[in-house]
Amino acid sequence: MKYPIIFLGIAALLTACQPNHKQIMISDTTIQASITAITTAHPEADVALVTRGVEQVATLWQENDGSEVDFQDLVSRSYAGTCEEKQMLYKRLAYIIEQCNQSADMLNNTLQEPTTLLGKGEPTQVDWIISGYSPMAHFAEDMFANKIAHICVLNFPHYSLEEKNTLGKDWSRQEWAYARLGDVFTDRVPGKVMATYSQALSEAENYIAGYNIMMHCLRNEQDEQFWQEPMALLSHWNLRDELKSNYATVPHAHEKQEMIYQVMLRIIRQEIPNCVVSNDKLLWCPTTNDVSGNPDSDIKLKVDISREPDTRYQQIINIFHALQAIDKHRPDAPSHVLRTFNEDLQIPFEEIEALFTQLIQSDEVKQVARIIRERLGRDLRPYDIWYDGFKSRSNISEDVLTAETQKRYPDAKAFEKDMPRMLMELGFAPEKAKELASHIVVEAARGSGHARPCVGREQPARLRTRVGAKGMDYKGYNIAVHEFGHNVEEVISLYDMDYYTLAGIPNTGFTEASAFLFQERDLQLLRNTTQLSHNTEQLFDLIWGMYEIMGVSLVDIQMWKWLYDHPKANAADLREAVIAIASEVWNEYYAPVLGEKDSPLLAIYSHMVGYALYLPAYPIGNLVQYQLEEHLAQCTTQAEWAKEYTRIYQQGCLTPDAWMRGAVGKPMSVEPILTAVREALNQ
């Protein structure tokens, strides 16, 4: 396989970031004496497991934890020597972690309500500050201080990803649960450092949540207005979805798409006048970048029309600096890039790179592009990366769909009340549907919407989406169904779980897969139609969506590589670098298919600003989604579909490889979707 030059730096970065362990304070003599003391007191103990636990505690021991005598005393008297003692210790530690997690999350949710939800009043200065507070920032630090973390590591040591994939094939559910408990205390990053990182993320998220483009205030060079009704669209989510909606037969569809494209370019390049962001008192022509007074406004002001001062990129710089502080305390994984792939995603970078490049360079993608070109009857434009004509709803005006959603869902609570019906529509038994829905609360979001998971069994999962004054429009409904898919997975993989430390999924891509499964069925849930499997159009839609998001992810990855190569860069430096990176990825993989060289369009995603390498989870989710769809297509009834979906997500947070083999009997791959598309094209 050809490895593009753009990724050589990433490979070098990952090589440079291989484990570089700090000096261990505890001597080999004390370590061996401690192991001997434990195995003498517990002759039946597994010596290899005892050794692993003692050595890992020694690696994490710091001067303020005590002397070597204190170390030996703690490990010697804290080992659970029998299966019964270990089970009791596991249950107690898991309970403590669950209670701390959910108590902190409930507090965090309450503190963030003014900045995340509508109907809570306008956020004050204090609200914006407190929204960045993290109640769990000092949790690990406190647990090491009181020695709970040391006891946990001793009895439930950590296993590497490679070990989990190898040894885990023979593990029982209990052994998996013990191994996942061993992932809780693997480093000692100070609470102050974690709090700073949490604050940086919160500030970036708040920046994104308040970044709206007033579409009814946009004009073209002929002073024409294409959006007549007031419409505030969040960047980038709502802008993209509005662009997609104009593949239907609606007035000025192509002109609207071109205008949105210009808006996106202005945002990426930070050429957008700062005064037009979230401001409905001014008119703006994205093509010429001219600003004028709004004739409908009574406010007559002298306006500063200078561009946004690289605020978008400053948010990323702030997060990077906060991560650099974490890097200093992680000699075993001293970069956010390394931690993302090896710890969060649990898939080595090389594997992800190979999957992504295999698909985006495939002949199947090029053939789908030719179909799109034929249907549009014109040369492709860069924004056709979001072509939406393969969906069954694409020939339906969004105004028609919005009329239906606003009537059915005048507020967030109406959607919440309708969730049991939607679940029954998907095949869940009435009692199960009511049970799942009872653990989900629906709230009107100030931003684009998101799913907030339940991290303990005494609180609900939260579904958040935009709900306008007239009710939930189709964009909000489509997002809500996506988040509903997250929430259903979150409830099943917590409430139906046999061990708390196995609650969840392997990585965020696997919950995205569930969200995509639900979102794909939004019309089924709205109009009571039946859908059990993919048809040809849906195959084309899925691979085209993968083609788009994989390129976006490559830009995100390369941006973080650049940051580590240029640690002293400022926001202006980063802006120029991102534009260059996005253009390079575009020219390599997209210009030959979509035309227009040097387009930086792939850099529009707001995730790049506030979510620090989250984007690769989406194409992983797409790949998992298709393999799940292929597997679930064998179900002959909706009830069977719901039962199998439930079984799959009851596996919990195994490694991605183990989860996929348990779900569909094979590892994650692009071959299934490529094969299916190839067969559809041949037909």
The alpha carbon of residue 500 and the mean position of all alpha carbons in its chain are separated, in whole angstroms, by 22
What is the spatial distance between Cα 619 and Cα 552, in angstroms, rounded to a whole number?
10
Q: Pick 591 or 449 by higher pLDDT.
A: 591
Q: DSSP label at 386?
A: G
| Nearest partner of 53 among 78, 70, 29, 73, judged by Cα | 78
CA torsion sign for 668, 394, 384, 379 is: positive
In this prediction, residue 75 has a pLDDT band, given cuts at 50, 70 and 90, of very high
pLDDT > 90: percent of the chain: 79
Weakest-pLDDT range from 392-401, 425-434, 526-535, 627-636: 526-535
Helix (H, G, I), strand (E, B) or coil at 363: helix
As a whole number of Å, the end-to-end CA separation of the chain is 29
- Residue 575: the pLDDT is 98
Which amino acid is present at 418? D
> d(Cα 262, Cα 314) in Å, to the nearest integer?
22
- What is the structure's pLDDT at 293? 81
Residue 605's pLDDT band, with cuts at 50, 70 and 90, is: very high
3-class secondary structure for 418-452? HHHHHHHHCCCCHHHHHHHHHCEEEEEECCCEEEE
pLDDT, tens only, 531-580: 544 688 889 999 999 999 999 999 999 999 999 999 999 999 999 999 99
How much is the average pLDDT of 132-152? 92
Report which of residues 156 and 348 the model is more confident about: 156
User: Using the 8-state DSSP alphabet, how is residue 377 labeled?
Assistant: T
Closest by CA to 350, choosing from 10, 5, 6, is 10
Long-range CB contacts (within 8 A, 24+) of 308-311: 308/267, 308/270, 308/272, 308/273, 308/274, 308/277, 309/270, 309/274, 310/270, 310/571, 310/572, 310/574, 310/575, 311/207, 311/270, 311/571
| Domain regions of the chain by residue span | 28-186, 207-313, 330-390+533-636+652-682, 411-527
- State residue 16's pLDDT score: 35
Contact in structure between 196 and 324 (CB atoms under 8 Å):
no
**pLDDT for residue 301:** 53
Q: How many Å apart are CA 450 and CA 344, to the nearest integer?
A: 19
Q: Are 388 and 250 in contact (CB under 8 A)?
A: no
pLDDT single digits (tens) 310-356? 999 999 999 999 999 999 998 888 999 999 999 999 998 899 999 99
Residues near 44 by Cβ (< 8 Å), separated by ≥ 6? 81, 82
Count of other CB atoms within 10 angstroms of residue 376: 15
- Whole-number pLDDT of residue 432: 97
The closest alpha carbon to 484, from 448, 449, 535, 456, belongs to: 449
Asked if residue 529 has pLDDT above 90, the reply is no
Contact 242, 233 (CB under 8 A): yes
Phi-psi region of 289 (alpha: psi -120 to 50; beta: other; left: phi over 0): left
